[in-house]
Structure 1
Amino acid sequence: MIPNNVSGDTVEAAAADPGAAPVVSGDPARVLDLPGAINLRDVGGYRTVDGRTVRWRMLLRCGAMHRLGEPAHTAFTEIGLRTVVDLRELSEFQHEPDMLGPVPVTIAHIPVYAAVLPSTAATTEAEPAGSAGPGAAVHPRVDTAGEAVAAGAVSALRALVDDDTPLTLEKLYTFAVDERGERLTAAVLALAAPDALPAVVHCSAGKDRTGMVIALTLALLGVPDETIAADYALTARYLVGEIAEALSTAPNGKPVPAELLTCPPELIVATLARIRDRHGDVRSFLLAHGATPTALDELRDTLLAPAPAPANATSTAATD
């Protein structure tokens, strides 16, 4: 059984059972406590506005995965992991390749911030065990989890390098949805590829880039904004200690703006609102940036469990 233990928190036994009742949004029991994984969480169990439920062990979100060991390999094999959607920039991707050992996965490298896609990006190819994609380093650096997350923060700082005004999370998210909609959509489409699921979406911290892609996916499924916001804000619980310390200072020694390290739930709600103001809904946003109706419908059908039959329908059927 894959552990769902979070130090200092009471974990509901039902959360460890993918067939159990849905866990409320933001419940720490959905965290997969695997050595070497940063902020690894299952987004299963969330209810949609039409009464359906996101399937367990089909879509995971995570931070850097370059320190994974045998327990994670075993857990991912048990899940049947098929796809890794890596949203990091090329330097992060090559510097700290995912260590997936014998897990046979397909890698979709889709950097969100880069002005020009590297030749390794936006493609989905089967990779040898333990590799991180074409051109990736053969041997991973043995560094700390905090260094990986700090690299992600630096990527964010560089995303608007030509803008002289202070970088804020709001500006970064606006930039992503306004200028990189095709990248965010490509990440969602990677989940919609044939036999792509179960999958994990990740960046370095599992906060901003991952947060936006997961938010778009959950919104597409019909999960309410307040649930999406609670899932997004849950990241703040796990970016602590060594990781938080590393995040506070850039590699050049300068402090990273504290605002960039937060996970305000109202930010992801405002981001979804901006998309709806401009496109009507998240589905239309994705369609405007390269998705097809068929792909989005298939993703919904795969990720969502059927809605339960009404109680009166069940009783009527029993008397027929």
Structure 2
Amino acid sequence: MASQPAALLPPFIAVPGLPNLRDIGGQPVASPSLGQREEGTQRGQQLGKKMIRRGVVYRSSEPSKVSDEGISMLTEDLGITHVFDLRSKVEIDRAHGKTLAADWQPREWPGSKRLFVPVFLDRDYSPEALAVRFGQYSHHSTEGFVMAYSSILTSAADPDHPYAPFRTILNHLASPDPSPMLVHCTAGKDRTGVICALILSLCGVDDETVAQEYELTQLGLAARKDEFVAHLLNVAEAMNIESIKHNREAAERMVGASKDSMLATLAMIREEYGSVEGYVVDRCRVTPAAVDQIRKNLVVDVDVD
């Protein structure tokens, strides 16, 4: 499998066998939001004096094909100690099919701890549930992605969720001195994109910048786009999802990452939950003190990072 294209510039990091790897740090923060607990402010509010700390939160596609050299880079060069896997067991064991499952198994390595924090539970992988999600992701407009991302937000914050995925990740970032972490799902686009958008917005990064960071995934996935499209078509065939299984164009829409989809999702979060912080505190049950600590940990002066 091809490694990350060398032509991609920072924030992308070229690690053999791990596409779409990048540091979400370095994004400018709108300073007024920090004291007022208002995230997602618009451009023009003194951007650039503060920014997100680099070297703490990394995001990527699934790491099953990362090479030994790549593992050394992740642990020794980047210092990653925690790997948060947002995929479910049934997604790995069943949805990829018997032939592909061996190629998509979780990868663990010394020096980093893999934490199993699936967004969706086993019941969410019925043919009916998958057909709904596939239909949303393949929709021609941003509305489909907003509905799909709303489902991610709902499932991740379910009070009965045994893994509390978003709370687990956010609480790691709220520790006194959080060590570098990697978060991924399959493509590193949707579930990963939502939690990274929450982190950035919670820390005061404006919507346009959050959405642009999300859209970088289209570059990050270029090397494996055909593989992910083939994977989706195989899943659709195995689960008999008529709208997708012979529709490559629809599958290609599913691996897209338009910034308009994220802008619409952030607007939906405010409409549904009042604010990103409202969702994090009220639904994910992260304490206000933990939110404050996340900001202290991740928001730095530009010349400090």
* Matching of residue 36 in structure 1 with residue 17 in structure 2: yes
Runs (5+) with no aligned partner, structure 1:
10-27, 118-154, 310-320
* Matching of residue 109 in structure 1 with residue 116 in structure 2: yes
Superposed displacement of residue 282, structure 1:
0.7
Cα separation, 2, equivalents of 1:46 and 1:158: 39
Which deviates further from its counterpart, 32-41 or 242-251? 242-251
Deviations 1:200-228 (A, max 9, x none): 11011000010000000000111111111
Cα separation, 2, equivalents of 1:67 and 1:272: 32
Superposed displacement of residue 306, structure 1:
3.6
* Counterpart code for 1:283: E
What does residue 272 of structure 1 align with? Answer: 266
8 Å Cα contact 2:81/2:179 also seen in 1:
yes
Cα separation, 2, equivalents of 1:91 and 1:200: 22
Please, what TM-score do these two structures have when normalized by structure 2?
A: 0.71
Distance of aligned partners of 1:197 and 1:116 in 2 relative to their CA distance in 1, 3 Å threshold: farther
* Counterpart code for 2:157: G
What does residue 97 of structure 2 align with? Answer: none
* Counterpart code for 2:153: V
What does residue 27 of structure 2 align with? Answer: 46
* Matching of residue 160 in structure 1 with residue 133 in structure 2: no
Matched residue pairs, number? 249
Runs (5+) with no aligned partner, structure 2:
32-48, 94-100, 137-143, 159-163, 238-244
Cα separation, 1, equivalents of 2:269 and 2:194: 11
Deviations 1:147-191 (A, max 9, x none): xxxxxxxx6x95834759933323211222244434563254243
Quote the sequence identity (%).
Answer: 26
8 Å Cα contact 1:60/1:200 also seen in 2:
yes
Please, what TM-score do these two structures have when normalized by structure 1?
A: 0.68
What does residue 298 of structure 1 align with? Answer: 293
* Counterpart code for 1:101: W
Q: Which has the higher contact order (CA 8 A, sep 6+)?
A: 2
8 Å Cα contact 1:184/1:213 also seen in 2:
no
Which deviates further from its counterpart, 287-296 or 75-84? 75-84
8 Å Cα contact 2:75/2:81 also seen in 1:
no
Superposed displacement of residue 295, structure 1:
1.7
Superposed displacement of residue 267, structure 1:
0.9
Which structure has the highest helix share of the two? 2
* Counterpart code for 2:264: A
What does residue 150 of structure 1 align with? Answer: none
Superposed displacement of residue 77, structure 1:
2.2
* Matching of residue 288 in structure 1 with residue 269 in structure 2: no
Cα separation, 2, equivalents of 1:165 and 1:64: 19
